Structure 1
Amino acid sequence: MEKGSIDTLQQRGYSSSKRQAGRILTSVTGLFIAVIVTVFPLGYFLISYQYIAGSLVTEAEINAAIILHAVNVTPELYEIGRETLSASISQRLKQGRGEIRRLVNEKNVVVAESADKIEPPFIMRDATLMESGVAKGRVEIYRSLRPLLIRTGGLAVFSLLMGGGIFFILFVPPLREIRQTEDIVQKSEERYRTLAEAAQDMIFIIDRDDNIQYLNSFAAQQLGRPIADMIGRPRRDLFPPDMAAPRKYDLTKVIEQGEPLQAESSAILSGRKVWLSTSLAPIRDADGQVTAVLGISRDITERKKARDALAASEQHFRERVNEEVEKGREKDHLLIQQSKLAAMGEMIGSIAHQWRQPLNTVGLIIQDIRTAHQLGELDEKYLREGVAKAMSIIRHMSATIDDFRYFYQPEKEPHKFNIAEAVVKAISLIDASFKNNNIEIELDLRDDVTAVGFANEYSQVLLNFLSNARDIFIERKTPHPRVVLRLFKEDDKSVLTVSDNGGGISNDIMDKIFEPYFSAKQKGQGTGIGLYMSKMIIEKSMLGKLTAANNGDGAEFRIEL
């Protein structure tokens, strides 16, 4: 409705121009027909009248000359020659032309007359008989103007018909189009005026002088004054000050720039504070000049409240999200700490497995030295060999400590590393524990497969798989336990699979094993963060993929980088 109202109201100048053109065309048409109907017959009448008058004057003068000559020759003609005089004044009379010809003496008495039957109105011309400078009488000739009037009337009828034909040919189609356009515009204006009056929006028109040209009923109702009291009045006298001042700037901007404008503002209407969304659009005349501004104000108070409530809700939601994110960070931090503690416990257990045999060997060496001393067999050579053997074992134990310390030291930047070397490194840290539990490790590794990431963290993930497999073997007392590691390339990706024959993962918990704090081990034997951290390392830190599935007699973990 708003767009149609704007278009229609902006056409007011155009419709006014159409009406003006219609009036001009009607005036020109009337003048043209009047000229045709009046000038032609009138011109014909005047020209014909002058011709008749001239011919009558000439005939009168000729007759006067003839009679004057006859009278001069025979002076008694005035007294005795009526028939001769009547014949004289009848000379040059054309047959069929109705005239009255008279000879009048100086006493204004008709001396002779030649008369036809003619009908009024008449035209009369005369000529004076002069003798020695003295008037002796005059000759009068009368002729009827009825034939001329009849011809003039016929010409007028012909002119009227011709003017009417020209009018219908040249002027009726344009007039009809103008009338149709006026009707269409008038109906359109009436239709949109009806819509404007029925609208529940404040619709108004302000001219360039900031005076109100139009207000719809709803606007008048909201302002609390009759429409008749507001039309033509300055806007600032009718609108509340909090509405008048800001709108003045907006109205001036629309008038100067000729572009529509949208704004929101608050106002006091009908005793309550409301929010209005106002659309302002320029109204142009036929020359394209902005003459006024159309405004449509809509009450958006409820929408404003809903929007503010939504914004408050979004802010509250954002704060809750931030709180949950912070809790998640704390949770991740706790998981990392727990993972570190679990790794430390795993490292201590691995060190214990690695050191158990060397410590036994050192203990045997010390006991052998004591026994040799008691038996008197401890000489310099025997002591030197025993000490050298013990120190070699101690140096191997120290190297083992360094291996574990470097293994658990985090790396700062990703780098390209050889995956087979990372696998061998992880196995070396748990090899003693596997041997103590008679667990077989089978390797099928390609030496040329590399990846970009963190080598120590990759080995830590692998160590986690091997530790879980070892615990499953011990818990389930698996006969002939075996772990198979295969490294190969697939679609330009490195793939490492770790398979065991420990009986596999139950389908009920398959989709939960990578969740934090979930453990399939007996209570107190697992933290539930090993596989979760492994997935985080592979997929978040190294942008790879870690999956698990049952394969044959056990489980299979697959790492893709």
Structure 2
Amino acid sequence: MDFQNRLKLIKATLITAWLIGLICFLSTLIISIQSPQNISNSFFWLQGLGIFALLVAIGVALFYDQWGFRRLRDRLSEKTRDLRRSEERYRSLVESAEDFIFTVNASGRFRSLNNFTAVFFGGTPSQFVGQPLSALFPEEIAEKQLKLIRLVFRFGKSVRDKFMVTTGEHQIWLSTNFMPRKDEQGNVISVLCIARDITESKKLEDQLVNTEKLASMGTLAAGVAHEVNNPLGIILGFTDLLLDKTDKNTQSYQDLKTIERHSLHCKAVVENLLSFARHGEGVSEYCDINEDIKDIINVVKHSLDMNDIELN
């Protein structure tokens, strides 16, 4: 039986007892008028009946009141246990998470933080409570975080950002989410910050950017190679014509051979660039790794020669 039905039952019992008492009183009054000589016995019995009815009503009311109190106490104890278990699960989840989790007030001072955050920065949670953000993060990062925290207090909405944090030998990237914690009236009372280490993801992202740059360089190299290849062919063609018309014993002939030799070298470099930039489907096949190494050396040979680097 719920609380409302219990109140209705108690009310009905009290009304019934009051009616019985009223009936007893009226009956006594009527008997006293009709038979004055029998008033003593009638009054005694009717009065006893009224008192008995009143006692029954009070007993019923007290019984249901105690029963309801016990039910309410048991429900309160059950809800308290549920709340305690829920709080323990939440605390266990926060403490076991390998993320930076902390709450701050409007001035950017720590109200709480999980054990992982405190241990990472070389302390315990109690040591950092009440300290400013700059106690954990570099001054520049702390100022940037404080601006975002003030935005959360002002507008009551979550904001996200990424930070690079350097502490000692550690240099990590953090993806941070600043979320408002509100009271029953909807006012922001603190900001919950959850920061996740995304250093590995950042490295993969940088590698992807570098890969895209290399792909762009391949496309650029192909374009440059094609543009250089055309005039280079013309130079070689006219050099051959001049060689045919020049006496081999003259200095001019030697100069033309020098032009031809370097032009052929440029032609080989251009062909290597085109080979490097050429896109094709990946095919698994056996190959001579020594020949592949020679091809790679031919691509970079000019740079090696310019820097006086000799391969053995």
* TM-score, normalised with respect to structure 2: 0.52
Distance 1:98 1:196, change over 3 A: same
CA distance in 2, matches of 1:304, 1:154: 79
> Which among 6, 11, 14 is matched to residue 40 of structure 1?
14
In the alignment, the residues of structure 1 paired with residue 205 and residue 234 of structure 2 have an alpha-carbon distance, to the nearest angstrom, of 42
Give 2:39's aligned amino acid. K
SS in structure 2 of the partner of residue 225 of structure 1: coil
Structure 1 pair 179–257 and aligned structure 2 pair: CA distance change class (3 A): farther
Structure 1: gaps (5+ residues): 1-25, 60-90, 100-142, 345-516, 518-561
The structure with more strand, counted as a fraction of residues: 1
Q: Counterparts of 2:185 and 2:237 in 1: how far apart (Å)? A: 81
Alpha carbons 2:108, 2:132 under 8 Å: kept: yes
Separation (CA, whole Å) in 1 of partners of 2:169 and 2:163: 16
Give the deviation of 1:329 after TM superposition: 1.8
Q: Which amino acid aligns with 1:222?
A: F
* Alignment partner of 1:94 is 2:44: no
Q: 2:178 & 2:215 partners in 1: Cα distance?
A: 37
Match of 2:136 among 231, 236, 239: 239
- Residues 36, 160 of structure 1: 8 Å contact kept: no
Matched, 1:155 2:57: yes
Where 2:181 maps in the other structure, the secondary structure is strand
* Residues 223 and 270, structure 1, Cα contact 8 Å, conserved in 2: no
- Structure 2 gaps of 5+ residues are 242-266, 268-312
1:299 pairs with one of 197, 205, 217: 197
Give the Cα–Cα distance (whole angstroms) in 2 for the partners of residues 298 and 158 of structure 1.
62
Match of residue 475 from structure 1: none
- Residues 319-343 of structure 1, C-alpha deviations (whole Å, 9 max, x = no match): 465345323321133346678999x
Contact 2:164–2:171 (Cα < 8 Å) also in 1: yes
How far off its partner does 1:221 sit? 1.3
Note if contact 1:263-1:277 (Cα within 8 Å) is conserved in structure 2: yes
Whether contact under 8 Å (1:282, 1:290) holds in the other structure is: yes
Distance 1:252 1:192 in 2: 26
1:274 and 2:248 correspond = no
Q: Which amino acid aligns with 1:96?
A: N
Specify the alignment match of 2:99 in structure 1: 201
The match for 1:77 is none
Going from structure 1 to structure 2, the CA distance change for 1:289 and 1:144 (only over 3 Å counts) comes to same
Q: Which secondary structure does the structure 2 equivalent of 1:228 belong to?
A: helix
Instruction: Report the counterpart of residue 218 of structure 1 in structure 2.
Output: 116
Contact 1:222 1:270 in 2 (8 A): no
Residues 212-270 of structure 1 deviation map (CA, whole Å, 9 limit, x = unaligned): 34322211212333223444x25446433344211111112223233332211122446
Please say if residues 242 and 267 of structure 1, whose CA atoms lie closer than 8 Å, have aligned partners that are also in contact: no
Paired amino acid for 1:281: M
Partner of 2:163: 265
- Alignment match, 1:331: 229
Greater radius of gyration (CA): 1
Higher helix share: 2
Judging changes above 3 Å, is the alpha-carbon distance between structure 1 residues 328 and 93 closer, same or farther for their aligned structure 2 residues? Answer: same
Matched length: 234
Q: Does the C-alpha gap of structure 1 residues 290 and 96 become closer, same or farther in structure 2, counting only changes over 3 Å?
A: same
Instruction: Show CA shifts across 1:363-388 (max 9, x none).
Output: xxxxxxxxxxxxxxxxxxxxxxxxxx
Structure 2 vs 1, CA of residues 329 and 192 (structure 1 numbering), >3 Å: closer, same or farther? farther
* 8 Å contact kept, 1:275–1:300: yes
Secondary structure of 2:230 counterpart: helix
Q: The residue matched to 2:136 in structure 1 has which SS?
A: coil
Question: What is the deviation of 1:153?
Answer: 1.9
**Structure 1: distance between partners of 2:59 and 2:168:** 70
Measure how far apart 1:295 and its partner are.
1.4
**Residue aligned with 2:157, SS:** coil
Partner amino acid, structure 1, of 2:58: A
Closer, same or farther: CA 265–33 of 1 in aligned 2, 3 Å: same
Q: Deviations over 1:116-157 (max 9, x none)?
A: xxxxxxxxxxxxxxxxxxxxxxxxxxx997654422221124
Secondary structure in structure 2 of the residue aligned to 1:259: coil
In the alignment, the residues of structure 2 paired with residue 219 and residue 235 of structure 1 have an alpha-carbon distance, to the nearest angstrom, of: 14
State the distance in 2 between where 1:239 and 1:323 align: 48
Shift of 1:205: 2.4
Amino acid at match of 2:41: G
- C-alpha distance in 2, partners of 1:252/1:33? 51
The percentage of counterpart residues that share the same residue type is 21
Structure 2 letter corresponding to 1:239 = L
Mapped pair 1:248 → 2:146: yes
Distance of aligned partners of 1:341 and 1:225 in 2 relative to their CA distance in 1, 3 Å threshold: closer
Amino acid in the other structure paired with 1:248: L
Distance across 1 between alignment mates of 2:78 and 2:189: 26
Say if 2:110 and 2:133, in contact at 8 Å, map to a contact too. Answer: no
**Contact 1:207/1:293 (8 A) holds in 2:** yes
The two structures, once aligned, show a CA RMSD in angstroms of 5.4
1:480-519 matches, cutoff 5 A: none
Conserved? CA contact 2:174–2:196, under 8 Å: yes
Distance between the aligned counterparts of 1:94 and 1:316, measured in 2? Answer: 119
Q: 1:336 to 1:97 in 2, by over 3 A?
A: farther
Q: Flag the 1:186–1:328 CA change in 2: closer, same or farther, 3 A.
A: farther
Equivalent runs, 1:354-393 vs 2, <5 Å: none
